[in-house]
Amino acid sequence: MTFSLRIQKIYSLCEGPFIWDICCDHSLIAILNLKENRFQKVYCVDKSFQSLEKTKKHLAEIKLSTHSHRKDLISEKIEIQCIDGTLLDWEKINGSVIIAGVGSHTCLKIIKSCPEYKRTELTWILNPFNYLDLFRTEIKKLFSETVSLEEHNVQENSRERVIFKLSHPQYKQSKTDKALLFQCD
């Protein structure tokens, strides 16, 4: 499987032991981590049951084509959660939070659901697809001046995509995995 430059760049910007891929769609970040093995676990979060079913099907296919000693690695490295990103228990989250491939308003709504004090403890990798000027203005309001803001430009399908990284140098996630398990009904 090949991964777009955008997906590879998003993955390369992540820090800490865990990735929380919110609005994960087809969970390409988690699949890339199976190959690269940089992070202890990727949490694939999406409120779309249909998207997560496609992810489960894809992972099942990978599991079938994988050597027997690596089959258990999939369940150890990937956790799928069917929940709206605004309803996450932010106290249990550490590492990097990815919100990519959604509009600026959705991205901002998810960020605002995270308590202000918790925002600086996380590395945020954000890739909204619209209203980038508005987005830049709003994220500067949502994060303290001690949080560094980087912008990375990537060409994808003849389009320039902007990936934002926000992180606080003081916080290099070393907490243990305290994630809650959520089930799809």
Query: What is the chain's Cα-based Rg?
Result: 16
Per-residue confidence at 171, pLDDT binned at 50, 70, 90? low
What pLDDT, in 10s, does the model give residues 130-154?
A: 999 999 999 999 987 778 889 999 9
CA distance linking residue 73 with residue 155, whole number of Å: 32
Cα–Cα distances (Å) from 47 to 34, 75, 121, 130, 137, in that order, read: 23, 20, 24, 20, 27
Residue whose token pair is 């619209």: 130
* 3-state DSSP assignment of residue 103: coil
Residue 167 pairs in a beta bridge with 148
First to last CA, the chain: 30
What pLDDT, in 10s, does the model give residues 14-57?
A: 999 999 999 987 789 998 998 888 999 999 999 998 888 888 88
Q: Give all domains of the chain, ordered by start, each with its CATH number.
A: 5-167 (3.40.50.150)
Cα–Cα distances (Å) from 94 to 21, 51, 68, 132, in that order, read: 12, 24, 31, 26
What pLDDT, in 10s, does the model give residues 63-106?
A: 666 554 555 677 788 999 999 999 999 999 999 999 999 999 99
Q: Is the pLDDT of residue 176 over 80?
A: no
- pTM of the shown model: 0.85
Backbone angles phi, psi at 156, to 5 degrees: -145, 120
Write a three-state SS string for 27-87. Answer: CHHHHHHHHHCCCCEEEEEECCHHHHHHHHHHHHHHHHHCCHHHHHHHHHHEEEEECCHHH
